[in-house]
Amino acid sequence: MPRRRYRKHLPTRPTWRCAACGIAWPCSAAKLRLLGEYRHDRLALTVYLATLQAEASAQLSEVDPSRLTGRFLSWARARA
């Protein structure tokens, strides 16, 4: 049986779409992976995502910055 190539759910620049599924990054699979990777350091995850949001904001100048905040950061906040 041939092996399937696994494509990682990473952002493609400058469109900021997922390389694997083509939807706006971070897609659901990327969010789950990131939450798992940073499960013990949510602050580091937030800093990482804020850095990527700043890069995306420069490349997606037509997108409202508040939408990018929701897309990149709001889901990663720790639950109370």
pLDDT of residue 2: 58
The position carrying tokens 């992976």 is 33
Bridge partners of residue 11, in order along the sequence: 18
**What is the Cα 4 distance to its own chain's centre?**
24
Report the share of the chain in percent with pLDDT over 90: 86
Residue 1 in this model has a pLDDT that exceeds 60: no
What is the value of pTM for the model shown?
A: 0.85
**What is the Cα 63 distance to its own chain's centre?**
16
pLDDT band at 77 (very low <50, low <70, confident <90, very high): confident
Residue 4 in this model has a pLDDT that exceeds 70: no
Helices (H), 2-41: 28-37
Going from the C-alpha of 38 to that of each of 7, 31, 45, 77, the distances in angstroms are 21, 10, 6, 12
